[in-house]
Amino acid sequence: MHKIGHNIAKAARQHCWRQHRQLSTWSPLGTAFNAPPTKRINFTRNDVGLFLMPELRNADGFHLLRENVENSTQELIAEAVSSERKRKMVDIFDELSDSLCKVADLAEFVRIAHPQNKYMQAAEQACISICGVVESLNTHKPLYQALSKVVCDGDLMPTTEVDRHVAKLFLFDFEQCGIHLPEKERLRVVRLNDYILQLGQKFMNGAAQPTVLPRSCVPEDIRDYFPTSGDNIIITGLCTNASNVKMREAAYRLYLQPSDSQEELLKDLLICRYELARSCGFETYAHRALNGSTMEKPELVREFIDELSEQLRPRADADFAVMTQMKRKESGQNTALVEIWDTPYFTSQLKRQSLEEQANEFLPYFPLGGCMEGLDNLLHALYGVRLQNTEMEPGESWHSDIYKLAVMHESEGLLGYIYCDFFERAGKPNQDCHFTIQGGKRLPDGSYQLPIVVVMLGLAQPRWTGPTLLSPARLDNLFHEMGHAMHSMLARTEYQHVTGTRCATDFAEVPSVLMEYFASDPRVLRTFARHFQTHKPISEDMLQRLCASKHLFAASETQLQVFYSALDQVYHGEAAEQGKSTTETLRDVQNRYYGLPYVDNTAWQLRFSHLVGYGAKYYAYLISKTIASWIWQTYFEANPFNRQAGEKYRAEILAHGGAVPSRKLVANFLQRDLTPRILADSLIHEIDMDESKIKELIVSRN
């Protein structure tokens, strides 16, 4: 009886999807992504191995990959140091880098994404093994000396400007471990690097821990706001969207209480980074981190931050004045002032009140298949590229719910592959990100090694009743991560070491942030935003409200990012060697760069885990946003489907990856120097234009 019922339900699901397809006007790509990925039972074909790698038909194949790369590494070292070398030094180093990255990048992805423990464990062992190979390379003096001689004196073979730039990048990477220093100092650098890694891991772990307080230490009137465990109260986050102001304030004050252990870890981390930078010949850690970046040196970052801060202050103050009026109206207290714990809440309130935004009202208009169809049409308009859903071979993917896209150019043919791991599942990391599995590069026979990437999202699984529906924020994330993927696909570099997203940190986010501008443009959204059941296009009113909602209080939000960036720069500058506590530094920086005051007896920075992964580089998102804004205003704002602009952008920006210094790339593309004043003016112009549009929309609705 159970089997009969199961078959009836299965037939009903199949009928539902067949009926949906008959009514559907989606393209084949849209139809594929609106349905669950097809799981085919394999009776005849042999497994081809993960990512079509025959070694990975089973987890033991990682051992073979490790052996192969260890052997090829020794052969390439011998070639590099040989007096009878027949190739350019940079060619040898890039092949060495390529062979290591193919295993390391693949293993790192499988380690965190594969659902089977045996694959995860084998991949982790491969990661450890490759780290060992890299560490041995970092101490190989003859190899370093051979590269250093070529960089300083020139190669025996003719080289291009790109060759010389990439060789310098390899040399700089080499010297990060102090190989150029006397042995005693080199060992000190190695110890500092190890200690910094340990401190960072401990700090990040501490930053994620809840605050646990005895009930007796928490005032009675706020105890019930938080969960309890025995005689303790547990505060796990900031409760930023709670409607109860006392709850918001209590969560802020309690969750961000100072921690002696976190303070010690952060101070030690900053001091060790400072000592490391000094040992390697840099004035501060910020100078070391910004070497080769778009902004080049911390002095220019500080000038940009100061310029932007000065122009933002009156605009952010106006935002806070609006929030204060909202708070007074809501609370009935004429003297109430907006506080730092209020800003996310009143941003949400303004969306609901002024723009009449209802929870989930946009969801039905953004089925995943429709969003992919819109993305495909946009890429075709700009670059002549199509995304083709491609059937995978048995054993090629790590889970049954993966899609594979072939990226096809109308004249160049196949550009590369994007594997789409879009849906949440047990054990999968809850993060949206882009992984490079294989970087593109020119091969000795003149052909091109095609890039292979994975885009990972955390979307809800599609159901037989309908497709996965995306919120506006999820739509932005999809376009953002696909922006990274297309940077990899559209790059055509000689060397994989600098392909696609392998470029300066403060430039790597430009293509992905630029894609968010397309995802926020009504003209682009009109091409695909339609109801998943009726196919009725989204109304003009909803469309305008959706786009406006993304820019509410943009000045105060940008000011917050300026404050974070300034704090990160100060921590990694001269302040690292001074005796102040990190909280004293925080108070000083907040008073200078943010419009809301520091809250006594809090230490927000002790939960700022980005200080570990983006030390001295937190400003990178702000700069990437600014450059993306400038590119948008110059080339795409007038027409987001402009093929001529798209081709120019690909040829002059995306195609080069990191093969050309990013500052030079952007300056040439925009035909202006990247001065701090010009950069700040560009972002302020955008904020003013968006504010004007929001006011017009709100007035028109009243």
Look at residue 477 and tell me whether its pLDDT is greater than 50: yes
Rounded to an integer, the average pLDDT of 283-293 is: 95
d(C-alpha 237, C-alpha 607), whole Å = 10
Q: What proportion of the chain, given as a percentage, has pLDDT over 70?
A: 95
Which pLDDT score is estimated for 84? 93
Under a CB-based contact definition with an 8 Å cutoff, are residues 147 and 174 in contact?
yes
Which pLDDT score is estimated for 1? 39
Q: Using CB atoms within 10 Å of the CB of residue 209, give its burial: 0 to 12 exposed, 13 to 18 middle, 19+ buried.
A: exposed
Q: Using CB atoms within 10 Å of the CB of residue 137, give its burial: 0 to 12 exposed, 13 to 18 middle, 19+ buried.
A: buried
Q: Phi then psi for 440, rounded to 5 degrees? A: -75, 150
pLDDT (tens digit, 9 = 90+) per residue, 240-265?
Answer: 989 999 999 999 999 999 999 999 99
DSSP assignment string, 311-363: HHHHHHHHHHHHHHHHHHHHH--TT----TTTHHHHHHHHHHHTS-PPTTTTG
Rounded to an integer, the average pLDDT of 6-29 is: 51
pLDDT (tens digit, 9 = 90+) per residue, 562-613?
Answer: 999 999 999 999 876 677 899 999 999 999 999 999 999 999 999 999 999 9
Q: What is the pTM of this model?
A: 0.93
d(C-alpha 515, C-alpha 645), whole Å = 14
Which run of H or E residues covers position 388?
Answer: strand 385-389
**Torsion from C-alpha of 491, 495, 501, 507, nearest 10 degrees:** -90
Look at residue 634 and tell me whether its pLDDT is greater than 50: yes
**Strand-by-strand arrangement of the 403-409 sheet:** 385-389, 403-409, 413-423, 452-459, 433-438
Which pLDDT score is estimated for 695? 85
Q: Which amino acid is at 32?
A: A
Q: Smallest Cα–Cα separation from 26: which of 389, 392, 393, 382?
A: 389
d(C-alpha 668, C-alpha 387), whole Å = 30
What confidence category does residue 353 fall into, taking pLDDT thresholds of 50, 70 and 90? confident
Residue 429: partners with Cβ closer than 8 Å, 6 or more residues away: 112, 113, 456
Under a CB-based contact definition with an 8 Å cutoff, are residues 618 and 505 in contact?
no
pLDDT (tens digit, 9 = 90+) per residue, 176-201?
Answer: 889 999 999 999 999 999 999 999 99
Helix (H, G, I), strand (E, B) or coil at 605: helix
Under a CB-based contact definition with an 8 Å cutoff, are residues 471 and 363 in contact?
yes
Rounded to an integer, the average pLDDT of 442-452 is: 96
Query: How many CB atoms within 10 Å of residue 22?
Result: 7
d(C-alpha 534, C-alpha 528), whole Å = 13
DSSP assignment string, 110-164: HHHH-SSHHHHHHHHHHHHHHHHHHHHHHT-HHHHHHHHHHHHH--SS---HHHH
Mean pLDDT of the chain: 92
Which run of H or E residues covers position 422?
Answer: strand 413-423
**Torsion from C-alpha of 370, 374, 377, 379, nearest 10 degrees:** -130
Which pLDDT score is estimated for 189? 93
Which run of H or E residues covers position 386?
Answer: strand 385-389
Under a CB-based contact definition with an 8 Å cutoff, are residues 568 and 586 in contact?
no
d(C-alpha 176, C-alpha 197), whole Å = 14
**Backbone torsion region of residue 332, taken as left when φ is above 0, otherwise alpha when ψ lies between -120 and 50, otherwise beta:** left
Q: Which amino acid is at 193?
A: N
Catalytic positions? 481
Look at residue 38 and tell me whether its pLDDT is greater than 80: no
Under a CB-based contact definition with an 8 Å cutoff, are residues 659 and 494 in contact?
yes
d(C-alpha 67, C-alpha 544), whole Å = 57
Q: Smallest Cα–Cα separation from 175: which of 296, 282, 298?
A: 282
d(C-alpha 406, C-alpha 296), whole Å = 37
Look at residue 2 and tell me whether its pLDDT is greater than 70: no
More confident position, 694 or 662: 662
Q: Which amino acid is at 255?
A: Y
- Distances 681 to 196, 310, 621, 677, 693 between C-alpha atoms, Å: 37, 11, 17, 6, 18
Look at residue 686 and tell me whether its pLDDT is greater than 50: yes
- Distances 443 to 163, 168, 389, 655 between C-alpha atoms, Å: 15, 21, 27, 16
d(C-alpha 540, C-alpha 355), whole Å = 13
d(C-alpha 641, C-alpha 130), whole Å = 44
Query: Per the structure block, which two tokens stand in for 122?
Result: 């084998």
Which pLDDT score is estimated for 451? 98
Which pLDDT score is estimated for 167? 97
Query: Per the structure block, which two tokens stand in for 412?
Result: 């160049």
Query: Per the structure block, which two tokens stand in for 208?
Result: 């994620």
What confidence category does residue 46 fall into, taking pLDDT thresholds of 50, 70 and 90? confident
pLDDT (tens digit, 9 = 90+) per residue, 158-175?
Answer: 999 999 999 999 999 999
Most confident of 219-233, 289-303, 341-355: 289-303
Residue 420 pairs in a beta bridge with: 403, 455
Which run of H or E residues covers position 491?
Answer: none
Rounded to an integer, the average pLDDT of 625-640 is: 97
Which pLDDT score is estimated for 359? 65
Under a CB-based contact definition with an 8 Å cutoff, are residues 18 and 24 in contact?
no
d(C-alpha 653, C-alpha 510), whole Å = 10
- Distances 212 to 232, 604, 618 between C-alpha atoms, Å: 6, 16, 29
Which pLDDT score is estimated for 6? 42
Q: If you search the block for the tokens 């443009």, which residue do you land on? A: 521
pLDDT (tens digit, 9 = 90+) per residue, 406-419?
Answer: 999 999 999 999 99
Look at residue 73 and tell me whether its pLDDT is greater than 60: yes
Which pLDDT score is estimated for 14? 42
